[in-house]
Structure 1
Amino acid sequence: YALSFNLLVPSETNFLHFTWHAKSKVEYKLGFQVDNFVAMDMPQVNISAQGEVPRTLSVFRVELSCTGKVDSEVMILMQLNLTVNSSKNFTVLNFKRRKMCYKSKEFIYQNDPVHAAPTTSTRVFYISVGVCCAVIFLVAIILAVLHLHSMKRIELDDSISASSSSQGLSQPSTQTTQYLRADTPNNATPITSYPTLRIEKNDLRSVTLLEAKAKVKDIAISRERITLKDVLQEGTFGRIFHGILVDEKDPNKEKQAFVKTVKDQASEIQVTMMLTESCKLRGLHHRNLLPITHVCIEEGEKPMVILPYMNWGNLKLFLRQCKLVEANNPQAISQQDLVHMAIQIACGMSYLARREVIHKDLAARNCVIDDTLQVKITDNALSRDLFPMDYHCLGDNENRPVRWMALESLVNNEFSSASDVWAFGVTLWELMTLGQTPYVDIDPFEMAAYLKDGYRIAQPINCPDELFAVMACCWALDPEERPKFQQLVQCLTEFHAALGAYV
């Protein structure tokens, strides 16, 4: 099928890959249109311009090469004409792309008089000056050697004590010793900070339990108002219950709720982290966010965190349940439904970005869903305990969602809205795979090197190329080159509309 909207191709992306195959004989003709040949050459492909669509799953590559002559956004149209049954069934597919091209240094220097090639007389002048400087430099070296030689003779006449004192002063200072940073192996250039992004560091361990309780004291309620029913999820030290919350003014009114709590063996640090991480979205109001509403921190009771109830629960568990029933009921969840979920998550994250709130742990496991397929982002309290396979310790005594983290977060522990965009790309991949684990074959300790070398998770089966291109844009190494959440909302909304039109 063909989509009507144009998809942005980042400047560093020079190749597009398309997966195709046909169950029966289908003939094709392939052509391209470019609106600015000054900025871009005609696209090249590694297949013939016409032929027969392969019967097995195959991939062909389109090369988009900028000329480097001008800065421009180039519109590219790839037209694929398909003929079935000897021209009785004729279909035209138009794939539209926008490629960012920038002027290369070579052309900048050619057009810049400051960098213009010097004339012959200018070269002669520069050579003369260079020779004079070399002669002066040699004379200075000779004079310095003679001076040091004379000073050495004077030192030989000095007393032994003066000589030993002079030797002591000539020892190198230990303060000048340099060490390689642990995050720059093999002298690699470290990931730099980008001043236009608001960057945070993780500092949860610096909060005490008393401080954590003080921050939520204003929303604390009596334990008597909470009734615990079924256990929805359980980990080593934490649990999530389906609970009932009694109204404060009218005891006859009740509301369903999620109740996060801990077991008796939970440590003080684990309790502190549950309370602190639960406050991440507190005070924020958006249809796609699920902040806490109340807590219970009474003495002698296990601390509890209360959130509004969503009857289909955790999004990751829901997706995996869909995958289990997919064989018996393939229409249970459609691709259009999954894209709609992605739009809702992007809307919630766009709101957080505007409020300058950084989530730091966006993933399907930290979203919930109801029976109308409404998705809401929640905090990551207890996620490390309830989804232990999604978190890894890299030797710094902190469990982190390594497979969802941007490179600058892995290497420098830096988080921003751009690193949340990276995590959104992985979350989108989770949606399209119905809850599979990303980078499942990669050692967590090798993730940073793997990403730095340019490797990413593979395109999911049955995932449209346009949707995978959105994911790839989220995984740009440079945080500044990743799309903003508002752009993702717009792009996915157009994609969702195109899917509806196709159906």
Structure 2
Amino acid sequence: MCKCLKAFHIQLMPIYEFLSTAVCRSPLGMSGGQILDEDISASSQWSDSTAAKYGRLDFEEGDGAWCPEIPGEPENMKEFLQIDLRSLHFITLVGTQGRHAGGIGNEFAQTYKIKYSRDGSRWISWRNRQGKQVIEGNRNAYDIVLKDLEPPIIARFVRFMPVIDHSMNVCMRVELYGCEWLDGLVSYNAPLGQQMTFYGQLIYLNDSVYDGAMIHRSVLWLGQLTDGMCGLDDFILSHVYNVWPGYDYVGWTNESFPSGYVEIMFEFDRTRNFTTMKVHCNNMFSRRVKTFQKVVCYFRSESDWEPTPISFSPVMDDVNPSARFVTVSLHNHMASAIKCQYYFSDMWMMFSEITFQSGDNPIHKVDDSNTRILIGCLVAIIFILVAIIVIILWRQVWQKMLEKVRSLPCSHSYYSWHSSLELSPTTASTSTASKSPQTSPQDGAPHYAEADIVNLQGVTGGNTYAVPALTMDLLSGKDIAVEEFPRKLLTFKEKLGEGQFGEVHLCEAEDMEDYMDEDFSFDVSDNQTVLVAVKMLRADANKNARNDFLKEIKIMSRLKDPNIIRLLAVCMSSDPLCMITEYMENGDLNQFLSRHEPEGMIALLSNAPTVSYSNLQHMATQIASGMKYLSSLNFVHRDLATRNCLVGKNYTIKIADFGMSRNLYSGDYYRIQGRAVLPIRWMSWESILLGKFTTASDVWAFGVTLWETLTFCKEQPYSQLSDEQVIENTGEFFRDQRRQIYLPQPPLCPDAIYKLMLSCWHRNAKERPSFQEIHRILLECKP
């Protein structure tokens, strides 16, 4: 269900490089000048002014392009423009352009081919996933045409080879897009994938994109196991259209391996210090496919194999059929080659991706220039760390000052002090106070400014909504906008969860309609019980928790929107204090979607209930509508996720807040030392690093929630990353050096919706869309 991410660990600091076809798309330096003239060569040229160095995309130097000297015979493939990238790169995209030269030139390549090499001696012809070599090029001399390389290539040298005929001369300007290949893997030697027959249908599990030679019924070089594409849960299906069943996986049957294992040998560019290996495996046990039972790995550091291997046995899973990464610790072995034996645990074993992580620098002499660059990077990193420490210390001092002010007996003094900062009621933030808040009203609501908040501990241990302090005059009175409800009319059904100060129960309520506002009605018959969620404060809760619980009731009683869970009534006459809220019969969105499948072959084969894309979009639109309402009141949710959205009839969605209290979702929260438990995989970088929670950070969380929805909640966001690596990734957003990792585009997700997600994760909070804009975009997008 995911695009695979390649990881490489640098010993000097815990920063991870990830490569994927979704995010590894940066220009490699033809147009930007990072690729030097001496690294660009060609088979021939018209003249000095059409030499290879002029073949840079979007440049008009010389005569405006590289042009080969002789058109040659039809289908001539001898002419080429060659680029030396100096090191291996993961190349996902190419761009071409013709010669315009201010209107003087009109030469371009209508079609071309690509060859590539990792060592400069063995050249490989690129083919797409259907086996086609010829790439459609330009139709005029000036437009840039970009083409995805599917599959991507791993190469140091790349040649653009125009297909030349007698009808016209050709000239080319080009660019390569991708990332440096830090995995270090240069080849693997694996047995040929095999065929499976499933109800009369042939499933081809061969390594269809390998670029090496076939030696003794095995493949030698690189291919499907390093193409950046993870297989789907159902191996019959594929991310790629117009390919055969089984395309995503390389698979073997135990009947062909009397030894009980499949052996794969991996060769690397140099000796490395290996920390882990990740293997993406299929686990559709209902079809006799499982992850490997055990793996035994041998290491070669120089010319000899070490006698003692390492062995690892993963926990077998006969409950969840989802494909998954299995992480194998390699215990910091030094090696230039690794040979692993993967043991069968059932009839079939299928892999779609294998990646390695190493924890050191290259073991060879580093020249002085590299040393200077490394020292410069370290100095820059130290300055960044010092700046972060200064910011953190400044915030701590500032917060202590605020706490002293808030402890003053006269609340009037508190507000007077804030008025000197010229604060207006704006979007809440956990940063204590902004000295120069900015407001840019949109649809009547301020946009992303910051102000103090009131933290409500509540039942779950975290606040329901972060409420601007200056709106707390709403809470000064004793009135509550809901009725007292008799406890005797509540019947306990089950405990939904518990938090630091209380519990959340699912109950049945009798005669609830008699205690409700006239503007609210249940979709039930008269005298019929309704399901409600009851937040109950523990009798031994401290005074602060009790006060916060009362404030939460007052706030919740004023939230009235069709996509926000409604406070129905309270039990305040005696302890324990209770608030009674709506509960939707289909539970939370996370569990609801995880029980369903998208419409298609996998649902037909598994007989699973389905949800259409139009219904997914409808649910996402409702979440955006509810958040638009909250943002119009300057409230910040701080924990928006599918676990906090409840599902009713006809895919009705209402936003709630008690997901944090459920043990089921304890893995979604991470305790940072000295701070609260935080849902870091849904949080913006500024929320994690700077403690700032604003409407803009809610927008970030909405993007993650939308991603969850379109993946049917089959995996946790950033499932390939540990919690620590998620936090490290926020540092990349802070540094903004294009090394940050984004969630990949879900298979069901249209480009326009993924573009919306990416805008929600913009580094600059002010450039993220408002919920008004998000709601409008979702309404306008046609399913």
Normalising by structure 2, we get a TM-score of 0.39
Query: 1:45 and 1:367 mapped to 2: Cα distance?
Result: 40
* Residue number in structure 1 paired with 2:666: 388
**Which one is further off, 477-486 or 254-263?**
254-263
* Residue number in structure 1 paired with 2:712: 434
Are 2:389 and 1:182 equivalent residues in the alignment? yes
Contact 2:562 2:654 in 1 (8 A): yes
Identity of aligned residues (%): 24
Give 1:43 shift: 5.0
What SS does the aligned partner of 1:298 have? coil
Query: Is the radius of gyration larger for structure 1 or structure 2?
Result: 1
* Residue number in structure 1 paired with 2:651: 373
Give 1:323 shift: 5.5
Give 1:23 shift: 7.2
Query: 2:491 and 2:391 mapped to 1: Cα distance?
Result: 50
Contact 2:759 2:769 in 1 (8 A): yes
Contact 1:364 1:430 in 2 (8 A): yes
Are 2:494 and 1:231 equivalent residues in the alignment? yes
Paired letter, 2:590: K
* C-alpha distance 42-30 of structure 1, shift in aligned 2 (>3 A): closer
* Residue number in structure 1 paired with 2:438: 195
Query: 2:479 and 2:659 mapped to 1: Cα distance?
Result: 17
Are 2:495 and 1:246 equivalent residues in the alignment? no
1:120-131 residue pairs with structure 2 within 5 A?
none
Contact 1:312 1:369 in 2 (8 A): yes
1:345-364 residue pairs with structure 2 within 5 A?
345-364=623-642
* Residue number in structure 2 paired with 1:305: 579
Paired letter, 2:449: R
* Residue number in structure 2 paired with 1:109: none
* Residue number in structure 2 paired with 1:296: 571
What SS does the aligned partner of 1:372 have? helix
* C-alpha distance 83-296 of structure 1, shift in aligned 2 (>3 A): closer
**Of residues 689, 695, 715 in structure 2, which corresponds to 1:411?**
689
Are 2:734 and 1:452 equivalent residues in the alignment? yes
Query: 1:372 and 1:491 mapped to 2: Cα distance?
Result: 22
What SS does the aligned partner of 2:730 have? helix
Q: Which has the higher strand share?
A: 2
* C-alpha distance 477-491 of structure 1, shift in aligned 2 (>3 A): same
Q: Deviations over 1:454-497 (max 9, x none)?
A: 222233344333322221111001011111222222322333x2
Give 1:388 shift: 2.3
1:44-443 residue pairs with structure 2 within 5 A?
44-45=146-147, 47=149, 182=389, 184=391, 195-196=438-439, 197-201=448-452, 203-204=454-455, 217-224=480-487, 226-231=489-494, 233-235=496-498, 237-247=502-512, 253-262=527-536, 267-268=541-542, 276-277=551-552, 281-299=556-574, 301-322=575-596, 328-329=606-607, 332-378=610-656, 380-381=657-658, 383-386=660-663, 387-435=665-713, 436-440=715-719, 441-443=721-723
Give 1:294 shift: 1.4
Contact 1:29 1:49 in 2 (8 A): no
Aligned alpha-carbon RMSD (Å): 4.7
* C-alpha distance 376-50 of structure 1, shift in aligned 2 (>3 A): farther
* C-alpha distance 22-485 of structure 1, shift in aligned 2 (>3 A): farther
Q: Deviations over 1:407-459 (max 9, x none)?
A: 22222222222211111101001101222321232325435325435222233
* C-alpha distance 265-181 of structure 1, shift in aligned 2 (>3 A): farther
Aligned length: 356
Are 2:742 and 1:468 equivalent residues in the alignment? no
Query: 1:250 and 1:279 mapped to 2: Cα distance?
Result: 17
Query: 2:759 and 2:776 mapped to 1: Cα distance?
Result: 14
Q: Which has the higher contact order (CA 8 A, sep 6+)?
A: 1
- Unpaired stretches in structure 1, ≥5 consecutive residues: 1-12, 61-81, 85-178
What SS does the aligned partner of 1:182 have? helix
Give 1:242 shift: 3.2
Query: 2:162 and 2:540 mapped to 1: Cα distance?
Result: 66
**Which one is further off, 248-257 or 402-411?**
248-257
Query: 1:201 and 1:216 mapped to 2: Cα distance?
Result: 24
Query: 1:412 and 1:199 mapped to 2: Cα distance?
Result: 13
Q: Deviations over 1:238-273 (max 9, x none)?
A: 233132142475997455142223485874366666
* C-alpha distance 184-492 of structure 1, shift in aligned 2 (>3 A): same
Give 1:225 shift: 5.5
Give 1:366 shift: 1.4
Contact 1:262 1:271 in 2 (8 A): no
Q: Deviations over 1:265-321 (max 9, x none)?
A: 87436666665556555423322222312121232x322221223211211221222
What SS does the aligned partner of 1:467 have? helix
Normalising by structure 1, we get a TM-score of 0.58
- Unpaired stretches in structure 2, ≥5 consecutive residues: 1-24, 28-90, 94-127, 150-159, 164-206, 210-223, 230-240, 244-385, 395-430, 440-447, 462-471, 517-525
Query: 2:538 and 2:633 mapped to 1: Cα distance?
Result: 37
* C-alpha distance 475-181 of structure 1, shift in aligned 2 (>3 A): closer
Paired letter, 1:448: T
Contact 2:491 2:507 in 1 (8 A): yes
Give 1:202 shift: 5.0
Q: Which has the higher helix share?
A: 1
* C-alpha distance 273-183 of structure 1, shift in aligned 2 (>3 A): farther
